[in-house]
C-alpha cells in the first residue's frame, strides 16, 4: 500500500517541481521592449502661395473670313470679248483692275446717237432763243406795255430747253452703259469663283464670279458671359479702345501668329450657345504688302487670345488643383494638409484666379494625393525628390523608397 502511494506521489512531485521551476524562470525573464509604430510623413510637392498682377487673356477660336465678299454681276447685255488673266480662282487683283470686258460696239453706237440727238436739241434751242428775241423786238416796235408770254415764244423756248436736258440725260445713260461694258474690281482682293468665260453671252444681272476683299479679314469669336466681364467689348462705331487679339494657328507644322483688333460685337446673344460673338479684324491678311510674312488665308481655323482687363494681387492656381466647393489643398505652417475655401475672381479651362482665402504660411500642394485628409503630416520634397514624386502613379500616395523602413 505504501509502495503504491509512493509511486503516485513521485510523478506528482516531479510535475510540481517542474511547474515551480518554470514559473521562476518566467518571472526572471525581462518583458520585450515596446516601440511605438512611427508612420513616415507623406512626401509631396508644394509651391509657395504668391500673388501677382496680370492681364487676363480670354481664350476663344473662330474661322477667318473676308470682311468684303461680293458677287459680281453684269449691268449690260453682250458677248464677253476679254477676260483678265488674273480673273481665275485664287487670282489676286487691285482696286480698279479690269476683270471682264463686254463687246462695246453697240454701246458706242448708242453714245454717238445720243450725242447727235443732243446736238439737234441744242440747235433747236438756239433757234428758239433767236425767234424769241425777234418776237420781242417786233412787239416793242408796234406797242408799249408788257408782252404776253406766248407772244415772246416763252413756252416754245421752255420746250426746247426741256428737249436739250432730255438729250443730255440720254447721252449720260449711253455713256454709263458703255462704261459698264468693263467690269472692274471695286476693291483689292482675290477671286473665289468664276462663272463665265471668253465668248459667252451674258445678260443684265447675270453673275460673273465671287470675289473676296484682302484688305481686312474678320474672325467671329464666341465669348461667354463670364469671360465678357473681364474684357472691354467695343460697340460698333464707338471711340472705345479696341482690345488686342493674338491669332494662332499651325501652318506647315509651325506655329504662326497674327496680330488683330477686337472692333465690335454682334450685339445679341446666340440663342443656342448663349454666347456673344465679338469680331476681330486683321489688316492685310494675305500679306500682299509684306511678302516675308506668312499669309492668313480665308477659311483657316485659328485660336484667339484676347487681352482683357488688368487685375492685381491674385493667386494663379492650376485648374486641376481646384477641388469641390471652391477649395484647394494646402500645406500649413505646421506641415499639415488643410482644405482652404477660397474666393475666385475668375476661372478658365487652365487656371483659377484666387482673390482671397489663403493664410500666411500656406503652400499650395501640387502632388496628386489619393484620399487626402486634413491634418495629415507631410514632408515637402526637394527638387531631386520632386522629380521622383512626379513619376509616382496619380492614384497612389507619393512615397519614396527611402521612406520605407525595414
Beta strands, E only, 153-206: 182-184, 189-194, 201-202
- At 146-190, the pLDDT tens digits run 655 554 567 777 788 888 899 999 999 999 999 999 999 999 999
- What local confidence, expressed as pLDDT, does residue 273 receive? 86
Residue 132 lies in a domain: yes
Residues 314-327 as b/e (b if ≥16 CB within 10 A, e otherwise) read bbebeeebbeeeee
Contact 298, 217 (CB under 8 A): yes
Residue 331 lies in a domain: yes
- What local confidence, expressed as pLDDT, does residue 283 receive? 94
Q: Which residue has the higher pLDDT, 226 or 71?
A: 71
Q: Which three cell numbers stand for residue 104?
A: 462695246
What percent of the chain is predicted at pLDDT more than 90?
50
CATH code, domain with 223: 2.40.30.170
Q: Is the pLDDT of residue 387 over 80?
A: no
- What local confidence, expressed as pLDDT, does residue 367 receive? 85
Are residue 205 and residue 141 in the same domain, yes or no?
Answer: no
pTM, two decimals, is: 0.71
Helix 154-179 vs helix 105-142: crossing angle, to nearest 10? 170
Are residue 81 and residue 132 in the same domain, yes or no?
Answer: no
CATH code, domain with 316: 2.40.420.20
Q: Which three cell numbers stand for residue 174?
A: 449711253
CB neighbourhood size of 263 (10 A): 21
Residue 20 lies in a domain: no
Residue 16 lies in a domain: no
Q: Is the pLDDT of residue 398 over 50?
A: no
Last residue of a domain, one of 171, 190, 213: 213
- What local confidence, expressed as pLDDT, does residue 270 receive? 84
Q: What is the mean pLDDT of the chain?
A: 84
Q: How far apart are CA 205 and CA 197, in angstroms?
A: 16
Task: Provide the number of structural domains found in the chain.
Answer: 4
Nearest to 187 by CA among 74, 94, 281, 65: 94
Are residue 374 and residue 328 in the same domain, yes or no?
Answer: yes
Q: Which three cell numbers stand for residue 90?
A: 485664287
Are residue 209 and residue 81 in the same domain, yes or no?
Answer: yes
Are residue 235 and residue 304 in the same domain, yes or no?
Answer: yes
Last residue of a domain, one of 247, 280, 311: 311
Give the mean model confidence (pLDDT) for residues 133-151.
59
Residue 29 lies in a domain: no
Burial class (CB in 10 A: 0-12, 13-18, 19+), 136: middle
Contact 367, 398 (CB under 8 A): yes
Task: Please tell me the number of Cα atoms within 13 Å of 112 on its side-chain side.
Answer: 6
Q: By mean pLDDT, which of 61-65, 247-251, 347-351 is the weakest? A: 347-351
Range of the domain at 316: 44-53+312-400
Would you state the torsion angle of the CA atoms of residues 101, 105, 110, 112, taken in this order, to the nearest 10 degrees? Answer: 120
Give the mean model confidence (pLDDT) for residues 59-82.
95
Are residue 132 and residue 186 in the same domain, yes or no?
Answer: no
- At 291-320, the pLDDT tens digits run 768 899 999 999 999 999 999 999 999 999
- At 226-240, the pLDDT tens digits run 888 899 888 776 777
Residue 35 lies in a domain: no
Contact 218, 66 (CB under 8 A): yes
Amino acid at each position: 500500500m505504501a509502495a503504491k502511494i509512493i509511486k503516485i506521489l513521485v510523478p506528482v512531485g516531479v510535475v510540481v517541481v517542474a511547474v515551480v521551476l518554470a514559473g521562476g524562470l518566467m518571472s526572471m525573464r525581462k518583458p520585450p521592449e515596446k516601440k511605438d509604430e512611427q508612420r513616415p510623413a507623406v512626401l509631396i510637392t508644394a509651391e509657395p502661395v504668391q500673388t501677382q498682377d496680370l492681364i487676363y487673356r480670354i481664350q476663344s477660336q473662330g474661322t477667318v473670313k473676308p470682311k468684303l465678299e461680293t458677287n459680281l454681276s453684269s449691268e449690260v447685255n453682250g458677248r464677253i470679248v476679254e477676260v483678265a488673266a488674273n480673273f481665275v480662282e485664287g487670282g489676286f487683283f487691285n482696286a480698279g483692275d479690269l476683270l471682264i470686258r463686254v463687246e462695246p460696239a453697240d454701246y458706242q453706237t448708242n453714245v454717238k446717237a445720243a450725242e447727235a440727238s443732243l446736238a439737234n436739241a441744242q440747235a433747236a434751242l438756239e433757234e428758239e432763243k433767236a425767234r424769241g428775241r425777234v418776237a420781242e423786238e417786233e412787239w416793242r416796235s408796234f406797242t408799249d406795255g408788257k408782252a404776253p408770254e406766248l407772244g415772246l415764244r416763252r413756252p416754245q423756248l421752255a420746250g426746247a430747253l426741256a428737249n436739250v436736258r432730255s438729250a443730255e440725260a440720254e447721252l449720260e445713260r449711253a455713256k454709263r452703259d458703255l462704261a459698264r461694258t468693263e467690269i472692274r474690281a471695286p476693291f483689292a482682293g482675290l477671286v473665289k469663283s468664276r462663272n463665265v468665260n471668253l465668248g459667252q453671252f451674258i445678260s443684265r444681272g447675270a453673275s460673273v464670279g465671287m470675289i473676296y476683299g484682302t484688305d481686312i479679314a474678320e474672325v467671329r469669336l464666341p465669348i461667354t458671359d463670364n469671360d465678357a466681364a473681364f474684357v472691354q467689348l467695343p460697340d460698333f462705331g464707338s471711340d472705345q479702345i479696341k482690345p488686342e487679339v493674338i491669332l494662332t494657328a499651325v501652318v506647315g507644322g509651325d506655329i504662326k501668329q497674327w496680330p488683330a483688333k477686337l472692333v465690335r460685337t454682334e450685339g445679341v446673344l446666340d440663342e443656342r450657345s448663349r454666347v456673344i460673338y465679338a469680331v476681330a479684324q486683321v489688316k492685310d491678311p494675305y500679306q500682299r504688302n509684306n511678302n516675308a510674312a506668312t499669309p492668313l488665308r480665308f477659311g483657316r481655323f485659328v485660336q484667339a487670345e484676347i487681352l482683357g482687363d488688368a487685375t492685381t494681387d491674385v493667386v494663379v492656381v492650376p485648374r486641376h488643383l481646384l477641388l469641390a466647393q471652391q477649395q484647394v489643398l494646402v500645406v500649413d505652417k505646421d506641415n499639415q494638409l488643410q482644405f482652404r475655401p477660397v474666393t475666385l475672381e475668375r476661372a478658365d479651362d487652365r487656371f483659377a484666379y484666387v482673390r482671397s482665402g489663403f493664410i500666411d504660411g500656406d503652400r499650395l500642394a501640387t502632388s496628386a494625393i489619393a484620399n487626402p485628409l486634413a491634418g495629415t503630416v507631410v514632408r515637402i520634397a526637394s527638387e531631386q525628390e520632386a522629380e521622383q514624386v512626379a513619376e509616382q502613379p496619380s492614384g497612389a500616395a507619393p512615397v519614396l523608397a527611402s521612406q520605407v523602413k525595414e
